Structure 1
Amino acid sequence: MSAITQDAHYARQVAQLDDSLASHLPQWLLERRRAAARRFVETGFPDPRDEEWKYTNVRPLTNKAFAADERRDTLDAATVAGYTHHDLEPIQLVFEDGHLRADLSQVDPLPAGVQIRGLNNALHEDSNLLGPYLDAVAHDRFSPFPTLNTAFLTDGVLIHLAKGVTLERPLQLLLYGNADSEALWCHPRILIIAEEQAAATVIEQYVDAKGARGFTNVVTEIVAHAAAQVQHYLLQEHSDTAYHVGNVFVRQHRDSVVTSHNVNMGGRLVRHDLNIDLIEPGSEIHLNGLFLVGGRQHVDTHTRVHHAVPHTRSREEYRGIAQGHGRGVFKGRVLIQEGAQKTEAEQHSANLLLSDKAEIDAKPELEIYADDVKAAHGATVGQLDAESLYYLASRGIPRETARAMLVHAFAEQALERMALEPIREARRDRLSQRLPGTIEDSKGH
């Protein structure tokens, strides 16, 4: 029997879902959410015996009585300013415990052809607008959490770019968790629709008050139509006691280019799934990732790139750093379908262990059913180079400083691929704060 049917708390929440659904919701959404709740009852939380979840046990989630909570609205403008990338002059939407804080957001004015709306606002103002987009790309073939998200949808954002429109300023989505929300779960949904030849940069950033223990279960859907270009930054910097499950779904049409930067430097238990479907010739995906774990943190990333047609391209580079008792996981799968000739696919995972108690599991996979392709993959897991440490020490550099320099150099190969300098600098600063000798995590506590 699944974990959720064993757990009376979650079973009760699902059974009472009809009562919790607001009466103003359109019929199509009520039916969709009820169906999602039924599917989740059938599947339950994933089991480590499932191949897709063999490295990540979600028991810490099933053992906690997470539930939705009333809005607090305690986040203030000064705190938001501390996380805002002012040099970028971003358009900004702020969420507190999964709910949009319009009073702290900066959206207007928007160029013609750009629509950025909170999901709850869109449901009130024009519910039919969301119908074609919500769940258009997301699915639960590899994870039940997207279904859970649909059933208990909190809030989110619809980003729609009309044909030929470029959003010159980046859009920052700041999702903040409160310290007093120990039993809180939230289920944001982010929809990004880029029509033909549209372009945008979206920064999806997760931060918490110190000591926050909530659970964020987010789904991001990206549709890039012909020749569209989307830069997507996913920056996960939760409290080290918080929980995060994220599913990103990308569907790409002819000659579209999507770049994904996935950086994890927080969270107690974190799982990210990135599912990419290249469905028309000329589509191209670039996946760039970096994680740093320490203490008892666990971060698991699964990428799946599906080359469904000829003349598509994927480039993937993920880097991981583990210290203390931290555990990192990277599993990347590239599927080249029959008939997808002239495909180019590269995947590499490089990982660095800074402690003999840390662990990183790397599993790259290629599944090829076409004969005229270029494909390569590889994975490495190792420690800092002893000769490099000796070289730096011989020039009078203290050992801890030398270690930090080498770790920074290792991480820099992921950071330098990020086009936005303020984003790079902020990640460098956070990396410095969490390196050995600077936080308790490095002691393995």
Structure 2
Amino acid sequence: MYSNSNMDNTSFKDKLVAAFQAAEGRLNGETKSDVHQKRREAIQNFEKLGFPTIKHEEWKYSNVSSLVKQAFDFNVKTEFGPDEIAALEIPNLQGNVLYFINGIYKAELSNIVSPDSQLQILNFGQAIKEMPELLASYFAKYANYQDEAFTALNTAFAHDGVVIHVPAGKVVEEPIILRFITDARTVNAASQPRNLIVVGKNAEVKMAEAFRSLGDNASFTNVVTEIVVEENANVQYYKVQNESDKSYHIGTTQVSQKNNSHFYAVTVTINGGFVRNNLNIVLDGQNCEAFMYGLYFPNGKQHIDNHTLVDHAKPNSYSNELYKGILKDRSTGVFNGKIFVRDHASKTNAYQSCRNIMLSDDASMNTKPQLEIYNDDVKCSHGTTTGKFNDEALFYMRSRGIPKAEAMTLLMYAFCEDVISQIKIDSIRGYLEGLIADKLAQ
């Protein structure tokens, strides 16, 4: 669709705005749709905002200047086929597996096994034509494209991705796995998938988003997923990242929960050059429960930033959050966790913890837990620890005849176990256990 040559922040922004205007001219009647009105508003917001700099408090520790100076092609043609998919398959993975190559849904590579009565799955372009009422009701109603530059950029170019609707009362027995593969083997490749997941009243679903990049060139993924969890609904959500050292990944998952709903999230980052994960949950109903787990392993010069927000907007709800990291070499990590308790959200219970192990004096971790509480009738806590390896435990294991390298790997794996064990899709958990063991042994 468009590319940028090496240029400064402003030039890249102008290039993107020009690309939007050119694409708009090819839409014909679609410009009158509700979706496109949101796109148009989003590009105007992006033009005002520009890319964030380290002067923005929310981006203080994550500098995107190297990203905006890169040259990316947002419309890379690829011959990615079944043989290459086979080499990337997760062993024993069963369910509704959808493949996206450079952000484009590939029906011929995907396999949907659940009956139409349990769920509806359409690519974003189809949904605009076939589910306009659903999009009018939910699209861009939750993710903040007014103030967040990358969300505004994604919203403006929302053409590809997936729309999933689980009707009220339906239990989707097989998980939904969205596999996003960036093929950067020939040029620097970029994509902006936009996903909308609507889970109706009393419905249940398990889903995962998995990101992988291939090739020696740089890649840029700017993904936004909006998840609506209606009354009494239950959603398990997993995000797995295993991308290259030359990848840039900026992802926002925006969740809205209604009365008596349950949302459960695990985010695991194995590899990635520059990663920013935004997980925002609004408990917009009473008796909601939200659980958030995270695990990250930066090494080399990798940078992994997890920003979370839990907004208790109504009374009588519960949230619990645990993030853990192991940092090596000259890597950097960021954890910024916010908990809001609104003035009328009495009987809120909210807990947050972030724990990190530093395996190198050159690695760095920036943590910023935040509580904003406007009601006295609550129970809330937060805490963060960052330290070196437990030498006493290591000495104990070595005294039992276990070699140092093996003992360190075992102790690090034990540190990770209370997050890994939260992954309830067996095939994904088993696959990650192998990847994590390999990473820890490096």
TM-score, scaled to structure 1: 0.93
Change (3 A) 1:134 1:71: farther
1:262-318 deviation line (CA, Å, top 9, x unaligned): 111111111011111111101110001101100000000110100011101101000
Change (3 A) 1:197 1:32: same
Is contact 1:254–1:280 with CA below 8 Å preserved after alignment? Answer: yes
Change (3 A) 1:393 1:276: same
> What is the aligned counterpart of 2:321 among 307, 311, 316?
316
**1:340: which partner in 2?**
345
1:325-384 deviation line (CA, Å, top 9, x unaligned): 111111101011112111000100011111111111121111111111111111111111
Alignment of 1:12-411 (within 5 A): 12-21=15-24, 22-23=26-27, 25-28=30-33, 29-72=35-78, 74-140=79-145, 143-180=148-185, 182-411=187-416
TM-score, scaled to structure 2: 0.94
State how far apart, in whole Å, the 2-side matches of 1:304 and 1:225 are: 19
Alpha-carbon shift at residue 80 of structure 1 (Å): 2.4
SS of the counterpart of 2:377? coil
Alignment of 1:423-438 (within 5 A): 423-436=428-441, 438=442
SS of the counterpart of 1:265? strand
Change (3 A) 1:75 1:153: same
Change (3 A) 1:402 1:184: same
Alpha-carbon shift at residue 125 of structure 1 (Å): 3.9
SS of the counterpart of 1:132? helix
How much identity, in percent, do the aligned residues show? 34
2:10 matches 1:7: yes
Alpha-carbon shift at residue 159 of structure 1 (Å): 0.8
Unmatched runs of 5 consecutive residues or more in structure 2: 1-5
Once the two structures are overlaid, the 10-residue window that deviates more, 130-139 or 278-287, is: 130-139
Once the two structures are overlaid, the 10-residue window that deviates more, 23-32 or 374-383, is: 23-32
Change (3 A) 1:307 1:245: same
Is contact 2:96–2:114 with CA below 8 Å preserved after alignment? Answer: no
Is contact 1:67–1:183 with CA below 8 Å preserved after alignment? Answer: yes
Change (3 A) 1:141 1:284: farther
State how far apart, in whole Å, the 1-side matches of 2:260 and 2:133 are: 29
SS of the counterpart of 2:294? strand
Residue identity matched to 1:89: Q
Alpha-carbon shift at residue 425 of structure 1 (Å): 1.7
Unmatched runs of 5 consecutive residues or more in structure 1: 439-445
> Cα RMSD over matched residues?
1.9
Residue identity matched to 1:169: E
SS of the counterpart of 1:428? helix
Change (3 A) 1:98 1:6: closer
Moved over 6 A (4+): none
SS of the counterpart of 1:104? strand
State how far apart, in whole Å, the 2-side matches of 1:430 and 1:157 are: 27
Is contact 2:8–2:68 with CA below 8 Å preserved after alignment? Answer: no
Alpha-carbon shift at residue 4 of structure 1 (Å): 9.3
State how far apart, in whole Å, the 1-side matches of 2:201 and 2:371 are: 31
Alpha-carbon shift at residue 134 of structure 1 (Å): 1.5
